[in-house]
Chains A and B, each alone.
Chain A
Amino acid sequence: QSSLTQPRSVSGSPGQSFTISCTGTSSHLGFYNYVSWYQQYPGKAPKLIMYDVSKRPSGVPDRFSGSKSGNTASLTIFGLRVEDEAEYFCCSYAGSWLFGGGTKLTVL
C-alpha cells in the first residue's frame, strides 16, 4: 500500500489563498468520501482540521476548506496567516487508513 501523493513543500504570503493537493487511486481516496486532513507543528502531535472531505471540527476556522474531485482531494486555506505555517497531511479511509507524505507550508 503506497502513500497518498502530496507536494513536499509549498510557500505563500500572508493574505494569499493556497491549495494543497492529495492524490490517490480509485480504489482508495477516490472510492469513499472519507478524506481527512491534519495540521502538525514541529514536535507536536497532528491535529484534525478537516474530515469527510469538507467538514470542519469545532474550533477550526472557516478559512480552511476541503474538497475532492475524482482521485484528488484538496485543502484550501483562505487568507494565509503566519500561524498556518505547519505540515499538513491528508488521510484516506477505504477499509484501512492511508496517509499522504505531508506538505510543509511556509508562510513568507
Chain B
Amino acid sequence: QLQLQESGPGLVKPSETLSLTCDVSDDSISNSAYYWGWIRQPPGQGLEWIGSISESVNTRYNPSLESRVTIAADTSKNQFSLKLTSVTAADTAVYYCARHKGRALDVWGQGTMVTVSS
C-alpha cells in the first residue's frame, strides 16, 4: 500500500531555508503517470498547494511562492524534497506531501509541523 512520509526540522529560523523530504514506499517517483506534490496548512487555516514534480524533472510551482521554492527528486532513494528560502513566520504550517492521480491528490502523508521562529 502506497505510503508517504515527511521528515525534516520542526523549527527553522527566520530568513533561513526550510528543507523537507518525502519518502515514498510502494510506488516509484519515476512513474510518469503521477505528479508528487507539497501542500501546506497554516494553523487553523486552509490548504495551499506549493508545487509538484513529475518524472523527477518536470516541476510546477504556485506562482505566489515560485521565487522561493525548489522541488527536487532523488530516484535512488525514491524520495522528493522541498526547499523554501527566506522563510518568515507566515511560512509556519503543517507541510504535507502527496501524490497526484489525474488532477486530484489521492494519497497524502501524515504531515509535519514546521515553525518559523528565532
Contact = CB atoms under 8 A, between A and B. Distances in A.
Q: How large is the interface on A (under 10, 10 to 19, 20 to 34, 35 or more residues)?
A: 20 to 34
Contacts of A38: 47, 105
Contacts of A52: 102-104
The listed residue with most A CB atoms (<10 A of its CB), out of B39, B46, B47, B108, is B47
A57 to B, nearest CB: 7
Contacts of B25: none
Interface string A75-100: 00000000000000101010111111
Contacts, number: 66
Contacts of A101: 45-46
B108 to A, nearest CB: 4
A18 interface: no
A98 B49 contact: yes
Interface stretch (B59-67, B73-81, B85-93): B59-67
A39 B45 CA distance: 14
B106 interface: yes
B47 A99 contact: yes
Interface in B34-81: 37, 39, 45-49, 52, 60, 62-64
A1 B62 CA distance: 9
Contacts of B106: 48, 51, 57
Nearest to A57: B106
A61 interface: no
Contact of B96 (A45, A91, A98): A45
Interface string A23-57: 00000000010101010000011111001100001
Contact of B104 (A32, A48, A95): A48
Contacts of B64: 1
A95 B66 CA distance: 14
A96 B104 contact: no
Nearest to A101: B46
A3 interface: yes
Contacts of B37: 97
Nearest to B97: A45
